[in-house]
């Protein structure tokens, strides 16, 4: 129930609050919940809504999506090795 309430607030904040407030909220969710894939979806939605499309030969969207996924994986790796989360994670070290 706590996760559903957190997700509803995240979705509402995507459309109402500035992008940096929503991003902070999503990063908090990464540390509070296990396998918080909503971070990936919200980050991509924020990027799509906040950028203006312009013509270029190099598509930087792929690079931004790649950075979002890398950030998510790094946080999951760090979370596995923090002593506070040792008993909660389903991964084996």
Q: Any idea what DSSP says for residue 91? A: S
Q: Check residue 86 and give its pLDDT.
A: 57
pTM (two decimals) = 0.67
Measured from the Cβ of residue 12, the count of other Cβ atoms closer than 10 Å reads 11
Confidence category of residue 47, pLDDT binned at 50, 70, 90: confident
* CA dist., res. 85 & res. 93, Å (int): 12
Q: Check residue 12 and give its pLDDT.
A: 92
Q: Are 69 and 42 in contact (CB under 8 A)?
A: no
Measured from the Cβ of residue 25, the count of other Cβ atoms closer than 10 Å reads 17
Tokens found for residue 61: 């969207």
Q: Check residue 93 and give its pLDDT.
A: 41
* CA dist., res. 66 & res. 68, Å (int): 5
Asked whether residue 51 carries a pLDDT value surpassing 70, the answer given is yes
Q: Check residue 58 and give its pLDDT.
A: 59
């Amino acid at each position: 129930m706590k996760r559903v309430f957190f997700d509803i607030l995240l979705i509402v904040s995507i459309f109402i609050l500035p992008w940096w407030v929503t991003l902070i909220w999503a990063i908090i969710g990464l540390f509070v919940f296990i396998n918080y894939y909503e971070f990936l979806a919200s980050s991509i939605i924020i990027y799509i809504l906040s950028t203006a499309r312009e013509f270029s030969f190099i598509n930087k969207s792929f690079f931004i999506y790649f950075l979002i996924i890398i950030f998510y994986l790094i946080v999951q790796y760090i979370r596995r090795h923090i002593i506070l989360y040792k008993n909660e994670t389903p991964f084996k070290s």
